[in-house]
Structure 1
């Protein structure tokens, strides 16, 4: 279980995430949605301790984030990464095994096999020796998902994984995320395409700086709640399948 209580985050004195609380059990695929500037990425970075929070408590199986860090994998937005860094695909994925090795130990045959299997799972094993910057956007995103898989985590956080990628890569990634859920993993995805919410996710976190609602898709993805979050009547009613 992951539990977030009373999370507040500020930038330069301006509160950008306020009073966010939710909890989810294992085996869930959770979409994080909301308008541009709603604090979606900021929220997950604060949950993971990548940026400071003003206040709030985050626990994973009753452990602090620091205690549970080895259980957690994070795939950042593609524009947060240095694609010119001279590293190939295989070594990028192998880095996913480092957190459980510690500072001194070096990857051995088990870790190398795990990296290969992770690349195979995302359909990128044939690209193992290519420099990461030579790949397409969809291929890059698959590689970083493979790195997360190599971590053997229980919780996965992906920040806008479908932006700027091809349809085939998006389908492959979604299929793997659903497999992870079926394996008992908990997966959080910052997502912006409302037309795919119902087909991708089981549960949702809807925020606009503060939490609007969290829970099952059927309870969150409804007309009144979505219009409250988006502060507009033009965006949501056009979404096919929306319930009034």
Structure 2
């Protein structure tokens, strides 16, 4: 088993205020990893810094044993739905076709085989019947499935998803998590920013627990300890009890 992600002393700040401080960790390939922590813990900031979408103050990282620039074609990213312009005039099929672009040469348009592959990806997420719809006409769960299909179309090795279950229906959530588990069974690595701790044990193999700093990283059983969770959530005992971590 190789290394999917290696981070050493990652720091990120906004206007002089620390958002992520001194995070170091290594994720092995083939893992389904959840990033958890309280609101304002820097979870999305951490993810964006890893993907070089925002600048970091310092720190080194490698993805699949190389730099982010060299590994770009092997990475798929599904952003938060709130960051997407759903009024953009693009159909579901065209949105998924964008996932094939990293594998096209400059100025080449997708061919028949690329469209067939995009349709297969839509079928996998149960959205093939909506291929001609404008993406803004879909429900939240349907939109999220379409963007997962776009990620699948990239044929990536490492998948990053930022809060994929927010505002989606239960059917879509079950479809998405099942596909993510299947990807890991195929040797892919999946890293997910997640907010619902009650489902962490069912969804993930490992957890990254953040509160600006790395509080804990390990298996769900290792991280889901009362003292570790309360350290990250700073004594929110009622909330911790709600998720089933006895104090």
TM over 0.5: yes
Question: What is the aligned counterpart of 1:239 among 231, 236, 243?
Answer: 243
Unaligned segments of structure 2, at least 5 residues: none
Q: Is the 8 A contact 1:157 1:187 kept in 2?
A: yes
* Partner residue, 2:168: 165
Q: Who is 2:95 aligned against?
A: 92
1:197 aligns with 2:217: no
- 1:98-119 deviation per Cα after TM superposition (whole angstroms, max 9, x unaligned): 1121432221122111101100
- CA deviation string 1:47-88 (max 9, x = no partner): 000000001111023201111011100000000000000000
Other-structure match for 1:226: 229
In structure 2, how many angstroms separate the alpha carbons of the residues matched to 1:13 and 1:23?
27
Question: What corresponds to 2:21 in structure 1?
Answer: 18
Aligned to 1:115: 118
SS at match of 1:17: strand
Aligned pairs for 1:65-76 (under 5 A) are: 65-76=68-79
SS in 2 for 1:204: strand
Structure 2: distance between partners of 1:60 and 1:37: 25
Distance in 1 separating the partners of 2:122 and 2:231: 41
Taking the aligned partners of 2:33 and 2:174, their CA distance within structure 1 comes to: 17
How many pairs align? 243
Aligned twin of 2:104: 101
SS of alignment partner, residue 227 of structure 1: helix
TM-score normalised by length of structure 1: 0.97
Q: Distance in 2 between matches of 1:106 and 1:58?
A: 33
2:214 aligned residue: 211
Given that residues 155 and 186 in structure 1 are in contact (C-alpha distance below 8 angstroms), is that contact kept between their aligned partners in structure 2?
A: yes
C-alpha distance in 2 between matches for 1:169 and 1:123: 9
The answer to whether the Cα contact below 8 Å between 1:7 and 1:17 also exists between their aligned partners in 2 is yes
Deviation string for 1:177-215 (max 9, x for gaps)? 000010101001100001000000000000000100111
Distance 1:35 1:29 in 2: 20
1:153 aligns with 2:148: no
Please name the residue that 1:126 is paired with. 129
**Is the CA contact 2:135–2:143 (under 8 Å) kept in the aligned structure 1?**
yes
Match for 1:174 among 162, 172, 177? 177
Q: Kindly state the Cα deviation for residue 243 of structure 1 after the two structures are TM-superposed.
A: 5.9
Q: Which runs of 5+ in 1 are unaligned?
A: none
RMSD: 1.0
Structure 2-normalised TM-score? 0.96
* SS of residue paired to 1:24: strand
Once the two structures are superposed, residues 126-158 of structure 1 have per-residue CA deviations (whole angstroms, 9 ceiling, x without a partner) of: 000000000000000000000000000000000
Partner of residue 54, structure 2: 51
1:82 to 81, 85, 89: 85
